[in-house]
Amino acid sequence: MEEVIEKDNKSIPNWKTASTTLQRANKPVKVADITFKEEHRLLTPDNEFNRVLGGGIVAGSLVLIGGEPGIGKSTLMLQLALNMPGIKVLYVSGEESEHQIKMRAERLVAPQPPPSGGGAIGHGCFILTETSTQNIFKQIEELEPDLVVIDSIQTLHSAHIESTPGSVSQVRECTAELLRFAKESSTPVFLIGHITKDGMIAGPKILEHMVDTVLQFEGDRHHVYRILRTVKNRFGSSSELGIYEMLGEGLREVSNPSEILLSQRDEPLSGITISTTLEGMRPMMIETQALVSPSPYGTPQRTATGFDTKRMSMLLAVLEKRCGFNLGAKDVFLNITGGIRVEDPAIDLGLAAAIISSHQDIPIPFKTCFAGEIGLSGEIRAVNRVEQRIAEAQKLGFEQIFISKYNLPSGSHDKKGIDLSRYKIDIKIVSRIEEVFEILFG
């Protein structure tokens, strides 16, 4: 357990010491009497970012951006700070020198044309290299920024407690001070936080309950794609997703993810299928690949990239038990292309088809895609918002899609059902995994 020594609080000014005296005791109010105003939201020039936040930055919100070191958090936030039109942004860095930040800024700004009517890029962006919260607040009072970015919360320290920067109590105290500042001044504050692979150690995990919104920046460092995922959001859906491409001159929004996540091929190859996935409100088509080969060393290898390994084992067990494929002595590799990670169970069916396609060495026909969850008994289960998935597949020129029978009005718990006649794409209705293989490989 870490020992925390509280310093004499009275002698050190906190974020506006006066504010504590302003606190009134609240009285209970009837829900019906509470007047509701749509929060004021600040739109950034980055549409992916706006969407992930639930439609722009909410005044006074505290947002945590977590991610592994080197994934691009500083790049994302500096780029945003440089491009916010007409407002003052304070970018506080405890990690890099002014010189380093300037160099990065040059790289980010150079290739972009100035926004129409907005003046020069980076005009309202101020850099402060500082790690003491008391000093930061002093500068904030002078500058009065409209938006504050802290890079990173682990580098800050508060004079209120004696503990090293990055320790749990420091991180928590600094966040609490910034939270008070954000709420009292209605200034949105973004905190960058490093997460290690296991996600825990004094990491931003401990802050998740304190902040309004948690965004996670992730991706495979060897790929160009980066994903900004909403993990928690008091002001919008918590399952939104933004996609970026990391280029030499910063991050670029990817507005049509389906097209980039599907590779261009001239002929169908075995082991490759296309699945529909839904991230937040947005349907995407992704390529799922499997490689099944005899295991040379006795102990078969099972590796999945972008997909949960436990779920992969479950799929393999179902394929063995229900369909009689002998996969026990095989190495199985699964991969979701583009370096993205998918949790949507609707890709089960596509993955199972990819595994069998590779195992049998029979390609899946072009322009075929899948949307179905697989249950332990081999049944194909319904997926959410199947209509959006079908529409996306059709829009991208797919000719057939496999969906679950349980997504139809009859036999489904969901009474709304879907109207198949609305679609041009051939919709194959299946209820068991064996049926799918019969159609594909029979």
**Residue 56 lies near ligand TYD (rule: CB under 6 A):** no
- Please, what is the minimum distance in Å from the beta carbon of residue 91 to Mg ion? 11
Among 58, 63, 71, 241, the residue binding ligand TYD under the rule CB under 6 A is 71
Report strand pairing: 125-129 vs 89-93. parallel
Closest alpha carbon to 414 in 377, 379, 383, 369: 383
Query: Binders of ligand TYD among 82-121, rule CB under 6 A?
Result: 104, 107-108
Q: CB-wise, 202 or 286, nearer to ligand TYD?
A: 202
- Please, what is the minimum distance in Å from the beta carbon of residue 83 to ligand TYD? 14
Give 292-352 as a DSSP string. Answer: EEE-TTSS--EEEESS-HHHHHHHHHHHHHHH----TTEEEEEEEGGG-----GGGHHHHH
Among 56, 72, 283, 338, the residue binding ligand TYD under the rule CB under 6 A is 72
Buried b (16+ CB within 10 A) or exposed e, 283-294: bbbbbbbbbbee
Residues 6+ apart with CB under 8 A from 311: 345, 348
Pick one of ligand TYD, Mg ion, none as the site partner of residue 79 (Cβ within 5 to 8 A by kind): none
Q: Which amino acid is at 44?
A: T
Q: Are 75 and 93 in contact (CB under 8 A)?
A: no
Q: CB-wise, 104 or 381, nearer to ligand TYD?
A: 104
**Residue 193 lies near ligand TYD (rule: CB under 6 A):** no
Q: CB-wise, 61 or 74, nearer to Mg ion?
A: 74
Distance of CA 388 to the CA centre of its chain: 20
Structure tokens at 207: 């802050």
Among 69, 119, 328, 409, the residue binding ligand TYD under the rule CB under 6 A is 69
Query: Binders of ligand TYD among 237-296, rule CB under 6 A?
Result: 246, 248-250
Segments of 12-84 assigned E as strands = 41-42, 57-58, 62-67
**Residue 199 lies near ligand TYD (rule: CB under 6 A):** no
**Residue 188 lies near ligand TYD (rule: CB under 6 A):** no
Pick one of ligand TYD, Mg ion, none as the site partner of residue 327 (Cβ within 5 to 8 A by kind): none
Q: CB-wise, 16 or 104, nearer to ligand TYD?
A: 104
Closest alpha carbon to 155 in 201, 194, 99: 194
Among 48, 60, 64, 73, the residue binding ligand TYD under the rule CB under 6 A is 73
Number of CB atoms found within 10 A of residue 33's CB: 6
Cα R_g (the chain), whole angstroms? 25
Among 14, 44, 50, 74, the residue binding Mg ion under the rule CB under 5 A is 74
Q: CB-wise, 74 or 288, nearer to Mg ion?
A: 74
- Please, what is the minimum distance in Å from the beta carbon of residue 100 to ligand TYD? 10
CA–CA dist 363, 293 (Å, integer): 15
Footprint of Mg ion on this chain (CB under 5 A)?
A: 74
Footprint of ligand TYD on this chain (CB under 6 A)?
A: 67, 69-75, 104, 107-108, 246, 248-250
